[in-house]
Amino acid sequence: MSDLAYLSATDALELFRTRALSPVELMTAVIERAQAVEPRVNALSEKLFDEALDQAKKAERGYLGGGSPRPLEGLPVAAKDEQPIAGRRASDGSLASADHLADTTHPVVERVMAAGGIVHARTTTPEFCCAAFTHSRLWGVTRNPWNLDYSPGGSSGGSGAALASGTATIATGSDIGGSIRLPASATGTVGYKPPYGRVPAMSPFNLDHYCHDGPMARTVADCALLQNAIVGPHPGDVVSLRPAVRIPDRLGDVAGLRVAYSLDLGDWEIEPDVAANTRAVADALAAAGAIVEEVEVRLRRADVMRAAFIHFGTIFGPMVARVAAAHPGELTPYALAFAEETRAAVERDGFLAGLELEGRIYAVIGELLDRYDALICPTAGVAALPAGEDYVDTKLTVNGVQLDHYLEYSLTPVFNIASRCPVLNVPSGLSSQGVPTGVQIAGRSYDDATVFHLGAAIERVRPWPTRPQL
């Protein structure tokens, strides 16, 4: 049954339609897998297994009745805990709000359910989703199924770990600085940061142009399937775009596409195995028919970090600080550090200086994407961070260089600044620690389809393993 737990969503739907597989059989396999591995991985913040099995039985009856199934009918879907569900706990991974109950359901989860997806579990995050790793006082340490000594990344680390450990078929995530792409990279899965406004979100963070909700999966086709189920305008989100733009069913034609690739975007430190895997992806795209050229990108990670922390200091950081003030002694050291670092950044430089810096950063990316259809680069300079480390008093070293702030290991915030660019993470290989590495495929503003075509071509030419030895 554990092999069934790794069945792709698109294959499962086809088997459901031909009655070769029941939604109950798939849900049972996923639940059994969770019962076997969750004590070691700890990716699920809430298990809704009994309800899920009841819903799977209802889906089974629908398929047997010969009706028209909805797009996600009967699939086990893990929802990121940050995305509230009415009547269920809405803790933000914090002891300070451990007893809060949501009074509304997030548009993404709402659409998953409306499409027939079965939310059988919710997935862990760091406190307030303010870290690139996943552990908290509320839920403990979430571990990477590929190597339990490492984190699955953050903040959608529970979703990435659930996919990699076979305890979900598809999953939801959100991304304010890399929180979909970093976990996807570290867990060998596929994660999509849609362009701003493509997928509806909740107030007030829907008004933050760094913020994106999106899909995570083990295959490019599965990621597209979930993206198509959650995309489109929503009456509760003024920035949600109309009309809905969906990913094509047929993917992978990249002949003649011009693709730039950079190993460091300018001056990010990159471990040798990450660099080698990125080059291999570039070679795979060339083999698939794309025109691939290595380029020099003149960005500075210090500028990107400065712009990001100024931005975080205007919305995200103050939210954390407000909770900290109301609940002294209850927050994690990393959440307190985030609130203070971001406050200091905006106080020192001011919001206008941050916007001016963001404009200069995007000018570099925009000029490049005017000449190329897409840009490929590593998702992070190192495969994964050690599990349980919060980098408050510890410095991170990448490629022999000690970073000023651990988040400088990530190349993802560039594309939260360039928030209208669609970005797809796909696996690029394995690191020396046995942990996956990933690449970002960044497209032109609102050109969703091209990054999926490129991801599908990489998957075809350079397929990745989807099941760790756990």
Q: CB-based burial of residue 289 (10 Å sphere; 0-12 exposed, 13-18 middle, 19+ buried)?
A: middle
Of 22, 45, 80, 419, the catalytic one is 80
Enumerate residues 6+ apart whose C-beta is below 8 A from 375.
259, 260, 261, 262, 295, 297, 365, 368, 369, 440, 441, 442
Helix H segments across 65-154?
107-114
Burial class (CB in 10 A: 0-12, 13-18, 19+), 242: exposed
Query: Active-site residue 179, yes or no?
Result: yes
* Joined tokens for residue 155: 């903040």
Residue 129 DSSP code: G
Neighbours of 98 (CB within 10 A): 14
Burial of 204 (C-beta count, 10 Å sphere; 0-12/13-18/19+): exposed
440, β-bridge pairs: 377, 425
Select which of 97, 155, 159, 419 is catalytic. 155
Given the residues 22, 45, 97, 179, select the one marked as catalytic.
179
C-alpha closest to that of 270 among 363, 196, 434, 381: 381
> How far, in Å, CA of 31 to CA of 65, rounded?
25
CB atoms within 10 A of CB 233: 15
Give CA 301 to chain center in angstroms. 21
d(CA 32, CA 461): 33
| Buried b or exposed e, range 329-364, using 16+ CB within 10 angstroms | ebbbebbbbbbeebbebbeebeeeebeebbeebbeb
Cα separation, 217 vs 8, whole angstroms: 9
Q: Is residue 395 among the annotated active site residues?
A: no
Residue 370, SS3 per DSSP? helix
Instruction: Please confirm, yes or no, whether 8 is among the known catalytic residues.
Output: no
| The pair of three-digit structure tokens given for residue 394, joined into one six-digit string | 């510890």
Produce one character per residue of 2-27: b if its CB has 16 or more CB atoms within 10 Å, e if not.
eebbbbbbbebbebbeeeebbbbbbb
Q: With 0-12 CB in 10 A as exposed, 13-18 as middle and 19+ as buried, what is 272?
A: exposed
Q: Which residues are catalytic?
A: 80, 155, 179
